[in-house]
Amino acid sequence: MDVKTVGVVGAGQMGNGIAHVFALAGYEVKLNDISAEALDRALGTIGKNLDRQVSREKITEAEKQAAMDRISTTTVLTDLGSSDLIIEAATERETVKTAIFEDLQPHLKPTTILTSNTSSISITRLASRTDRPEKFMGFHFMNPVPVMQLVELIRGIATDEETYHSLLKVVESLGKTAASAEDFPAFIVNRILMPMINEAVYTLYEGVGSVRSIDESMKLGANHPMGPLELADFIGLDTCLAIMNVLHEGLADTKYRPCPLLTKYVEAGWLGRKTHRGFYDYRGETPVPTR
């Protein structure tokens, strides 16, 4: 299957990054969201991030303009029906994702590949509720999408080889690297990353270290570009908690129990950067630890 047109569902942090990299690689992109405001915001973010690449001489002004011209937006989900490839990057709730695929299905070409950017929901289960489980895959990008080299490809139990190879080619065309993961809770990256972040929260909870000392330790002692608490704020504490719950329930092992302090931050609505407060307070000039 030769992919030329791509429909991206959801214009949030992941959706706008995905639209950005596909448009820059020459694909025609239709970006959909239920909110027209979210679509405007996404175009603004994409423009800003492309400008950043222009100013660092990664791309030219003409390439930026051509990429922007390849992105169209719509609040009507079914406008994406003619796409060769659909990437669902909506809210990380199974009912939302299933409803999107159900609504889209009658409008798709028989050859369209359906994918989800889910970070932890079972691909086999999502696929089983569509009319094309053999053309369904997990397509997991990392944040920030324009910068991170990796894409996880997750085959459901029914995914066929043709679909897998089509997506491998797509990842290559984006200049990124694919890692194949089996369809088990949280796949590879989050299976390893989230317990580390959760352990950092336990380290804080038990008073072993402060927010700053934990982050400094992992940045300077393990060469991580961000400390684990700073990274948790960047990802979103609600997302971190949701993934820990998927690991805990899906693997039924107490080693994955979410730290009560992580739950408390989420209960407070302190979800990290997106709500301007998490392990750090982002409301001033520089982030200040909240504990």
Q: Which residues bind ligand CAA (CB under 6 A)?
A: 49, 52-53, 56, 58, 119, 142-144, 146-148, 189-190, 193, 225-226, 231, 235, 239
What Cα–Cα distance (Å) separates residue 186 from each residue in 90, 245, 284?
Answer: 17, 10, 34
Q: Nearest distance from residue 16's CB to ligand CAA, in Å?
A: 9
* 128 annotated to a ligand binding site: no
Residue with tokens 């492309």: 50
Q: Nearest distance from residue 89's CB to ligand CAA, in Å?
A: 11
190 is catalytic: yes
Whose CB is nearest to ligand CAA? 119
Q: Nearest distance from residue 188's CB to ligand CAA, in Å?
A: 10
35 is catalytic: no
Given the residues 32, 83, 117, 119, select the one marked as catalytic: 119
- Looking at the Cβ atoms of 61 and 162, the one nearer to ligand CAA is 61
Given the residues 140, 166, 198, 230, select the one marked as catalytic: 140
- Looking at the Cβ atoms of 104 and 121, the one nearer to ligand CAA is 121
CA–CA separation, 184 and 182 (whole Å): 6
CA–CA separation, 147 and 20 (whole Å): 11
* 175 annotated to a ligand binding site: no
- Looking at the Cβ atoms of 113 and 193, the one nearer to ligand CAA is 193
The full DSSP string for 66-85 is HHHHTEEEES-GGGGGG-SE
Given the residues 116, 190, 198, 230, select the one marked as catalytic: 190
What Cα–Cα distance (Å) separates residue 280 from each residue in 12, 64, 150, 194, 236?
Answer: 22, 34, 27, 18, 12
CA–CA separation, 190 and 243 (whole Å): 8
- Looking at the Cβ atoms of 108 and 236, the one nearer to ligand CAA is 236
* 11 annotated to a ligand binding site: yes
119 is catalytic: yes
Q: Nearest distance from residue 123's CB to ligand CAA, in Å?
A: 14
Q: Cα 40 to chain center, whole Å?
A: 19
CB 216 within 8 A of CB 181: no
- Looking at the Cβ atoms of 108 and 142, the one nearer to ligand CAA is 142
* 236 annotated to a ligand binding site: no
What Cα–Cα distance (Å) separates residue 227 from each residue in 48, 189, 195, 196, 256?
Answer: 25, 16, 14, 11, 20
Side-chain-facing half-sphere of 229: CA atoms under 13 Å = 30
- SS3 call for 174: coil
Q: Nearest distance from residue 119's CB to ligand CAA, in Å?
A: 3
Given the residues 20, 88, 120, 152, select the one marked as catalytic: 152
- As annotated, the active-site residues are 119, 140, 152, 190
